[in-house]
Amino acid sequence: MSYTLIVDIASNNGYVNSATVDAYDISRFGSSAVPAAGTAAPSGSPDAIGVSGSNGNPGQAVLTVPKNDVYNCLVTYNGTNYWTQANVTVVAAQLYYGSFYSTQTQTNGGATTANLVTFNSTDVAQGISVVSGSQITFANAGTYYLNMLGQFITAGGGSNYAVTAWYTINGGSPATASAFTFTTSGVNNQVLANVADTAIFNAGDYIQFYWWSQNTYMELLATAAGSSPTRPLSPSVNVNIFNVG
């Protein structure tokens, strides 16, 4: 939950734009009254700062404050401190989400290869997108929950059935990983495995998913749609991401 102060700034000549508005919780004053013109600001930094007109509305300053309370707001105009009082407005959190998948089978590049997971389809998305086929990119900062599901299969012979899947941030070192081994060996065994995590990202950050297996016959398998009964395509991999804060 976030809290917003909306303060209109005007003079006898109309709205005033480009004025700095400082907000101070009333707990920082000796009383709940609005300070008189000319009163100095309390010591310490303001609880929030805004600029009138910066949101496109003439004379309006929009400030994000830390708690649900009443604030005294200061504007210095022509050398004089002017004060007003404002109550918070509760603003619902903006939701960002993305659901992406691949309709293609993705093969193992080798026993020492980190296989990059790619996506060629988007189910729904807002504020999150896939760039260059693999970079899941965040347009907005926040805390996000991530869950990738991969449909692995042993498509041929081999003696090692271990798989590790993980993701990286901005092309850096691996983050959370999920390691597993098929409980039975043999061709055409399948395992639905996932990587899940909650992490904080900045605007512009991106993540990429990878997997590894010494079994060079290991694949991420896409299954075609079926009939009798009608069945949808099953992606080789899908990822679901949404913000939680």
Burial class (CB in 10 A: 0-12, 13-18, 19+), 231: exposed
CATH 2.60.120.40 segments of the chain: 97-243
CA distance linking residue 10 with residue 8, whole number of Å? 7
Name the token pair of 129. 């997108």
Q: Which residue has the higher pLDDT, 182 or 76?
A: 76
Q: Which residue has the higher pLDDT, 156 or 17?
A: 17
What type of residue is 189? N
Give the rounded distance of the alpha carbon of 206 from its chain centre.
Answer: 10
For the cut 90, the answer to whether the pLDDT of residue 56 exceeds it is no
Name the token pair of 172. 């850096």
pLDDT score recorded for residue 92: 65
For the cut 90, the answer to whether the pLDDT of residue 174 exceeds it is no
CB 17 within 8 A of CB 39: no
How far lies 165's CA from each of 89, 160, 162, 172, in Å? 44, 15, 10, 15
Checking phi first, is residue 30 left (phi over 0); if not, alpha (psi -120 to 50) or beta? alpha
Mean pLDDT of 199-221: 93
Q: Give the number of C-alpha atoms closer than 13 A to the C-alpha of residue 107, restricted to the C-beta side.
A: 6
pLDDT score recorded for residue 91: 67
Mean pLDDT of 7-32: 93
Q: Which residue has the higher pLDDT, 178 or 222?
A: 222
Percent of the chain past pLDDT 90, that is, above it, reads 71
pLDDT score recorded for residue 168: 95
CB 206 within 8 A of CB 138: yes
What type of residue is 63? L
pLDDT score recorded for residue 33: 93
Confidence of residue 183 (pLDDT cuts 50, 70, 90): low
Architecture of domain 97-243 in this structure: Sandwich (2.60)
CATH class of 2-91: mainly beta
CATH 2.60.40 segments of the chain: 2-91
For the cut 90, the answer to whether the pLDDT of residue 114 exceeds it is yes
For the cut 70, the answer to whether the pLDDT of residue 186 exceeds it is no
What is the rounded (10 degree) CA torsion for 119, 165, 243, 200?
-120
Q: Is this structure's pTM higher than 0.75? A: no
Mean pLDDT of 217-244: 94
For the cut 90, the answer to whether the pLDDT of residue 116 exceeds it is yes
pLDDT score recorded for residue 83: 96
pLDDT score recorded for residue 73: 96
Indicate the average pLDDT of the chain: 91
pLDDT digits (tens, 9 = 90+) for 66-101: 889 999 999 999 899 999 999 998 766 678 999 999
